[in-house]
Amino acid sequence: MIDLLALVMLLAGCFFVFAGTVGMLRLPDVYCRLHALTKADNLGLLLICLSLALLAGRLRITLLLLLIWLLALLASTVSAHLIARHSRARRPPTGEPQ
């Protein structure tokens, strides 16, 4: 039962990461790409971490996975912020595809 749940979450996580990647490659401008990359990827990573935690079933591993997710979250937040800021300074958002 737990295995099944983990599998579903793993697949869902992979889907979100994949979607984020597709978004990064296909979306028109920096802001949309950042949106895809940060949101979808972080959700995907969370799902993968959770599923791995379920499979491992140990508190230490679970906490480590949570830490990994939090660090990735922090890193992607800051880098997305910096990229958006840099991008706005150079070329303000117009709503039009660049």
Partner 1 sequence: MNAQIVVDIALGLILVGLAAQVALGRHLFRSIVFYVAFGLAMAVIWARLGAADLALADAAIGAGLTGALMMVAFRRLVGIDPEQAQAQMTRHSHVAVAVAALTAGLVATVGLAALTMARAPESAGMQVLARLEETGLGNPVTGVLLVFRGFDTLIEMAVLLTAFVGSRVMTQRSRLNVTTISGFELPLVRTLVAVILPLAVLIAMHLLWIGADQPGGAFQAGAVLAGSGVLLLLTGTLLPAPRSNAMARLALVAGVAALSLLVLVPLSQGRPPLAFLGKGSLLFAEAAMMVSVAVSLTLLFAGAPALKAGRQ
Binding track, positions 64-93, relative to partner 1; x by CB under 8 A: -------x--xx-xx--xx--xx--x----
Contact 31, 85 (CB under 8 A): no
User: What does the radius of gyration of the chain's CA atoms come to, in whole angstroms?
Assistant: 16
CA terminus-to-terminus distance, the chain: 48
Of 81 and 96, the one with the shorter C-beta distance to partner 1 is 81
Contact 92, 80 (CB under 8 A): no
Minimum distance from residue 75 beta carbon to partner 1 (Å): 7
Question: By the criterion CB under 8 A, which residues form the site for partner 1?
Answer: 71, 74-75, 77-78, 81-82, 85-86, 89
